[in-house]
Amino acid sequence: MSRPSAEADLLSELTELVGDDLAASEEIFRRELDCGERAVESIVEHAALLQGKRLRPSLVLVSALASGGIEEGHRVLAAVVEMIHVATLVHDDVLDEADTRRHVATVHSRWDTKTSILFGDYLFTHAFHLASSLQSTEACRLIGRATNRVCEGELIQIAERGNLNLAESRYIEIVEAKTAELVSVSCRLGSGHGRDDPRLADALADYGRRLGIAFQIADDLLDLTGDESRVGKTLGSDLATGKLTLPLVHLLHSGSKAEVDEVRRLLTEPDEQTGERLLPLLVASGSLDYARDRAEQYATEACERLEILPDSPARRCLEGVTAFAVHRSC
């Protein structure tokens, strides 16, 4: 399958900047999970097919490069954040009852729900074991706090399922926790590990937070408008599981009474045609455009946080990531 040129350009740039370090990080990832048990290793090998762009470990490494250079601890931390990310994907696919990701069967559809839950837990515990191998406990503390926030965000999102009165501010709170927090800590670990510049670490963490929100809004749009054969995962799961995304939140708060009544009717009993029926309402109300504009706004704000860095290929790459996050098609 051919990739959109923007993604191909970004991946080429990342490979040039941190390709060797990312490969070293992936070797650390594999070594940490090497237990000698074929039943476990077959799941690890399958999960590797679900990893996709490896955005979070790449952000650890590029943030480190932009902030002074990459050390061995950054490669370890890149492996750690990827383990946590894959664990959340495995658990998310259970919650969303998703059958495919990256054009590959999810763990729960390839094996079963019990295996998925245990495997996600297995990745979490290995991530913390690996983080604890570093001399400083600061990284482990930051990763622990971020993982807590991710789980809190998922729990809040479950509690808010089906809430057709969800406010945009509440939606952003959920996204900040469940998606943006891990992106934020990835950038903080890259810029802060082994260095004593809290101002720089805070700026990169804020960059990551805003990037993560932009990324999730774009994901919301793809769930409604994407091509499943290109995106490579089960679409429409947000509607099927009662999760309100930003376009719908906007429509429910700003649409005409007739539009809102129709949306509420469609969301009360969603089926396979719900997304198709909602799309004209989302277009006519400007709700899709509103969500795209908000994603662009967060991406712009993320780039502004990079002004603390000197100009360099690594900084320009971080700027490029924000553009990719909001304009991607997969």
- Considering the domain boundaries, does residue 2 fall inside one? no
What are the average pLDDT values for consecutive 10-residue runs of the chain, which has 330 residues? 58 87 95 91 88 88 95 96 94 85 86 93 94 90 94 94 94 96 97 85 97 95 72 58 90 92 88 86 93 96 96 94 85
Query: What is the structure's pLDDT at 102?
Result: 73
Q: Is residue 330 part of a domain?
A: no
Name residues whose C-beta falls within 8 Å of residue 148's C-beta, 6 or more positions apart in sequence.
Answer: none
310 — phi, psi (to 5°)?
-70, 155
Chain CA centroid to CA 166, Å: 22
Residues whose CB is less than 8 angstroms from the CB of residue 10 and which lie 6 or more positions away in sequence, other chains included: 317, 320, 321, 324
- Tell me if 176 is assigned to some domain: yes
Asked if the structure places residue 274 within a domain, the reply is yes
Query: Which of 288, 273, 280 has the alpha carbon at shortest distance from 240?
Result: 273
Rounded Cα distance between 325 and 294, Å, is: 13
What pLDDT is stored for residue 235 in this prediction? Answer: 47
- Tokens 């510049």 map to which residue? 197
Question: Could you tell me if 278 and 263 are in contact, meaning their C-beta atoms sit under 8 angstroms apart?
Answer: yes
Report the pLDDT value the prediction gives residue 5, as an integer from 0 to 100.
57
Query: How many independent structural domains does the chain possess?
Result: 1
Looking up tokens 């940490």, which residue turns up?
32
Count CB atoms within 10 A of the CB of residue 110: 15
| Cα–Cα distance, 311 to 171 (Å, whole number) | 34
Tokens 């902030």 label which residue? Answer: 67
Helix (H, G, I), strand (E, B) or coil at 159: helix
Residue 206 belongs to domain with CATH number: 1.10.600.10
**C-alpha dist (Å) from residue 316 to 62, 123, 136, 295, 311:** 10, 32, 30, 19, 7
- Letter for the amino acid at 72? E
| Segments forming the whole domain that contains residue 204 | 7-324
Structure-token pair, residue 84: 């946590």
Q: Is 1 within the bounds of a domain?
A: no
Flag whether 260 is in a domain: yes
Residue 234 lies in a domain: yes
Residues 198-211 as b/e (b if ≥16 CB within 10 A, e otherwise) read eebbebbbbbbbbb
Closest CA to 217 of 188, 178, 186: 178
Domain membership of residue 329 (yes or no) is no
pLDDT at 237: 65
Conformation bin of residue 20: beta by default, left when phi > 0, alpha when psi is -120 to 50: alpha
